[in-house]
Structure 1
């Protein structure tokens, strides 16, 4: 693969300024195909297996591909503990204004699926920016703070949130614990998408593992209920976990991406 250089975009001002890392690949096929935009999950980064394979697919097919790390993630600067859906959505929109693609297919993994759905709402509201030609949501976790975290908080976690402003839980993907802040949870309530009909105006492809212990597959079924107006394909992978990074999972992801950019 062609080596790429990380670019940095400053988002916010004064104490809120943070440098957001971007990997952007230009299209080479000269056709009017949409650019692929990668939105990663909570505590993931743009060099993970799925993101790298999507970029490789883009290069092989002459497509543009835009990846970014949210503040506090990967190569980006900023305090992770200040992160909220609103803040990471703001950074995503700033990167799209900076790179200025005309049409995009957004590939959102886990929390990135939530940010992708909020991105659609904000672009429709603004009536400017790129046209969204398709959504590919991988183990999507819309409203996860409201739907999956808050109902399951222990008394100890509630006390920690009230007293310290955050709580910790072990992560199976890292030696460092996951940290969930009061700001993240409160902001999550303001960014809910599973409240009515979600109108994306584009085809939607959802990949979901049935052995996902982080985001149960029933959550994808609930999302489906909120997408009655769109052309939606939901693929349930019986032995798939949350990461969906096995070779067969990558094949499914790339096949779905190909169908959306064609």
Structure 2
């Protein structure tokens, strides 16, 4: 029987049980570093950016790990039970059980918040730190307290208190976004933008200036808090929150290549 291409032969689909939820994981074996995809709120590992990162890693013989948080994509669990702490724990479990350091964490939107919390948990600034780099796309750390709470309407505040959640329409799908009271309360305990942030590794940020969900000023503030790090921020003048157009993908892969010590991303994907 003819064998498939290396990209297919090296892909391993598995699951981990974390706090009672089955977490779906796709791991591509390869050399260092191991890129780890951390998706956004209500996104999944089969999105354009995640798939294109995985494809690029396959072309460059590097390891890549994608997974879905509980309540997302292929994973089990109740989405409404999700919090930053819970999804952080799942991300840490995946990296501990599946990935070999050094790791480059690629966080999209909420995934950037998870990435920064992972750095705080895993890095101690010494020799042998597992995190080799961060690539943050439309980063939304502290989005519950910084981006949502100041804009809550009276009705939304009432819904949070009386029914434990509120819903709002989203342009990214037919179902409304659900925001739980527990998510807001837990988010306050996981804030990262309260002072200088030292990740002990290079950081690359890509932010669209036409992003309706995460203002570019939020990314700029994060960048300024990374005062001790090798940090670079790149703006996409007409970029939206998804950053999934071919030119956006190309920029992401170029940044990934820089963090991996490669000579560039070598092309973009189809959005």
Name the TM-score, length of structure 1 as normaliser.
Answer: 0.94
- Give the secondary structure class of the aligned counterpart of 2:36: strand
Per the alignment, residue 170 of structure 1 pairs with 169
Runs of at least 5 residues in structure 1 that lack an aligned partner in the other structure? none
Q: CA RMSD in A?
A: 1.6
CA deviation vs aligned residue, 1:205-228 (integer Å, no higher than 9, x gap)? 000000000000000011012100
Report how far residue 127 of structure 1 moved. Answer: 8.0
Per the alignment, residue 26 of structure 1 pairs with 29
Runs of at least 5 residues in structure 2 that lack an aligned partner in the other structure? 1-6, 262-271
Within a 5 Å distance, the mapping from 1:123-134 to structure 2 comes to 123-124=122-123, 131-134=130-133
- Give the secondary structure class of the aligned counterpart of 1:22: strand
Distance 1:24 1:129, change over 3 A: farther
- On the 8 A contact 1:104/1:130 being kept in 2, the answer is no
Within a 5 Å distance, the mapping from 1:223-242 to structure 2 comes to 223-242=222-241
CA deviation vs aligned residue, 1:100-145 (integer Å, no higher than 9, x gap)? 4120111000000000000000112598996111100000000000
Per the alignment, residue 84 of structure 1 pairs with 83
Hey, which bits of structure 1, 4+ residues long, moved more than 3 A? 125-130
Per the alignment, residue 185 of structure 1 pairs with 184
- On the 8 A contact 1:143/1:192 being kept in 2, the answer is yes
Per the alignment, residue 34 of structure 2 pairs with 35
**1:10 and 2:9 correspond:** no
2-structure distance, mates of 1:59, 1:153:
43
2-structure distance, mates of 1:52, 1:259:
19
CA deviation vs aligned residue, 1:174-230 (integer Å, no higher than 9, x gap)? 100000000000000000000011110011000000000000000001101210000
1-structure distance, mates of 2:222, 2:56:
27
